[in-house]
Amino acid sequence: MNKKLQAHIAVLLANIFFGINYITIKFIVPSKLGAPALNICRVIGSLILFWCLYFIKPSKAGIEKKDIPRFFLCSITGVVLNQILFIKGLSLTSAIHASLLALVTPILIIFFAAWILKEKLTWLKIAGIILGISGAVILILMKDVSHTASNIFLGDMLVILNAIFYAFYFVLVKPLMIKYSPVHVVRWVFTIGLLFMLPYGYHSAITTNWQSFTNLDWIYFVFVIIGATFFAYLFNIFGVAVIGASATGSYIYTQPVFAAIIAIIFTGEEYDWIKFVATILIFSGVYLANYKQKII
């Protein structure tokens, strides 16, 4: 098997893991543990594994002093706020809503790249941004007829905020990815992120009744940390290195498909015509916004 095919398979697996992640989190948050507890466990667990990679294959460990502020900003946007808003939002809304709203990220990346990096914003991209946001608004305003969400409006808003900060992260991290290896960047982004995550999730983690976890709960928990965080990030990094950021980023469009199939089968969520219209608008928006444009 050639390296490019391995990379495509790895990136596909990463997005399957992300798609499954929407459901597994809903199975354990907040019924078994709070969102802050899962946040800190997710960061600590992944961080340990990323540093294990360093000790297995040592390389340059430090970062230059002038890059520290940007690493801090990337940690706050890409790990701290991104993780906190995503898990809390997902616990309140439905899995299908969250997975579709996550597709707003590529659209927001175009917008923030035009604002921060001064990249050209064409009328086609503007039309794509409008279409994508219109689809997101439809999802936010609709009611949850499948009764899998406790507060769908608040949950959707938090997922949108998550997408905003994640888009900021993608724009901010681009210069670091050029200067350092992707694994090196992610390792330090998680390391710095832990400093901010500890005060947020420490109390929730130590007060969690871990003895109440069933074997199935532990499987969900371990999958979120190892499968949907460590391996998913690692597989995406491998994809960026071998097939490029554009090809790797395009696989994000498969996440709602996997999430919807699993949600319909295991949680009884419904995929109605309103969600279909919102899906068409969001996918059309992403396509127009990225037409003849490489994803960052």
What is the model's pLDDT at position 218?
96
Place of tokens 């466990």: 41
- Tokens linked to 190: 């998680």
Integer-rounded Cα radius of gyration of the chain: 19
What is the model's pLDDT at position 296?
43
d(CA 146, CA 92): 13
Neighbouring CB atoms inside 10 A of 143's CB total 10
What is the model's pLDDT at position 34?
94
What is the model's pLDDT at position 242?
81
Give the residue among 238, 203, 181 at the shortest CA–CA distance from 10.
Answer: 238
pTM of the model: 0.80
Give the residue among 89, 117, 98, 158 at the shortest CA–CA distance from 278.
Answer: 98
d(CA 248, CA 148): 31
> Amino acid identity of 41?
C
What is the model's pLDDT at position 294?
47
pLDDT averaged per 10 residues, the chain (length 296): 86 90 91 94 93 82 90 93 92 84 73 70 77 75 63 87 83 83 88 94 95 95 94 84 72 80 79 78 74 51
What is the model's pLDDT at position 295?
43
